[in-house]
Each structure stands twice: as C-alpha cells, then as structure tokens.
Amino acid sequence: MHGLKANLEDIKKGQTQFQHAQSSLSLLEARYTTNQGDLNAAFELASAYLSLQKTNEANLVLERLVQQTNASAQTLLSVANAYSQLQNMTGLETALTKLVKVIPDNPEAWYDLARAQTVVRKTPEAFQSLRTAVMLSNKRLATNAGAKNLAVEAPNDPAFASIRNLPDFKKALTPQEP
C-alpha cells in the first residue's frame, strides 16, 4: 500500500511540473509574439520548446529569426550556432547563407558556409564558398600575417573529407582574383 501511495504522489508531482512548464511556455509564447525581434525571447522560447521535445516548434522560431529582413550578423550567428547544436544542417546552411550576405567580407563566415554546404551535399556551392573564404583569408593575410590561413586549415578539416580528393577542392584553395 505504501508503494501505491508513493506512486500516486509521484504522478501528482509530475502533473504539477507539467502544468508549471505549460504555464511558463504560455508566458514565453506571449512575450515572443509581442516582439518577434527580441532575440532573448526567441531563444528562451526555442529552448523551452526543446526542453519539452517540441523540436518542430523550436525550429520554426529559429527560421523566423533567419527570415527577418533586418536580421543582424549577431542574430544569424546565434541561430547558426543553435542549428549546429541541434545538428540541423539544412537550417545551419540557410542561416550561414544569409550571414554571408550581411557580412560578405568575413572569411570565416564563408568557410563555415562551405562546411555546411559540404554536409548537405551542395558540392558546387561548397567549392564556390570555400574559394571565396580562401580569397578573403589571403587578402586578410596580406595585411595581418598572424591571421588564420584558411587555405592551410581546409585540407585538414574533417568537414571537407567527402570532397577533399576532388580536383575542384585544390582549385578552391588556390583561387585567382577575378
């Protein structure tokens, strides 16, 4: 009889925790709905969805952030990081594609995009992004010898393992200025 009573208490406790989570979720949804540009509200809501194993809803919040016409580089980097942690490579590639439009002179953004494109098997696009990353990296190295050399890093990057032996990979690492 004691075991039954303990089980009933556990069930009651679980229901209370679920009701509290639902209430918190409702508050987060209301906060986000009133200001969809609030990065903190969006990430708190996405995090709450993930804790309740509502990945579709979490991904929708992240997608909306990427689709904002005025999404900042910081917002896009945060969303890309979230997608990376969720191992949502399609979302990651979409966020990084928009990021390189916002900060087109950033070699690491292009490099990360090339990595994501490789994973989602967009090989021609990956070569073009890697080529751009290396050109920008070389340009930066001309004025800052201590900067990261992406042409040296790429051949050892596991993300490029599937394309490393293709002829276009070597071409991307030795780009000619247009």
- Cα–Cα distances in Å, from 147 out to 16, 43, 142? 54, 32, 9
pLDDT at 52: 85
Residue whose entry in the numeric block shows the structure tokens 């406790």: 13
pTM score, two decimals?
0.81
Of 69-73, 143-147, 158-162, the one with minimum mean pLDDT is 69-73
Rg (CA), the chain: 22
For residues 152 and 154, what is the distance between their CA atoms, to the nearest angstrom? 6
pLDDT given for residue 157 in this prediction: 96
pLDDT at 20: 58
Amino acid 154: pLDDT: 97
Tokens of 133: 């990353």
Residue 14, pLDDT score? 52
Q: What six digits make up the tokens of 7? A: 């089980």
- Reported as a pLDDT band with limits 50, 70 and 90, residue 28 is confident
Residues with Cβ within 8 Å of 171's Cβ and at least 6 positions away in sequence, in order, are 127, 131
Set out the domains of the chain in order of their start, with CATH numbers.
1-90 (1.25.40.10), 104-178 (no CATH)
Structure confidence at residue 16 (pLDDT): 55
For the chain, the average pLDDT equals 87
Q: Is the pLDDT of residue 12 over 60?
A: no
pLDDT band at 57 (very low <50, low <70, confident <90, very high): very high
Integer Cα distance of 46 and 159 in angstroms: 27
95: Cβ–Cβ under 8 A, 6 or more apart, which residues? 62, 66, 76, 79, 80, 83
Report the percentage of the chain scoring pLDDT > 70: 85
70-126 pLDDT per residue, tens: 889 999 999 999 999 889 999 999 999 999 999 999 999 999 999 999 999 999 999
Residue 23 pLDDT level (bands cut at 50, 70, 90): low
pLDDT computed for residue 5 by the predictor: 59
Residue among 144, 145, 71, 138 nearest 111 (CA): 138
Q: Which DSSP state fits 1?
A: -
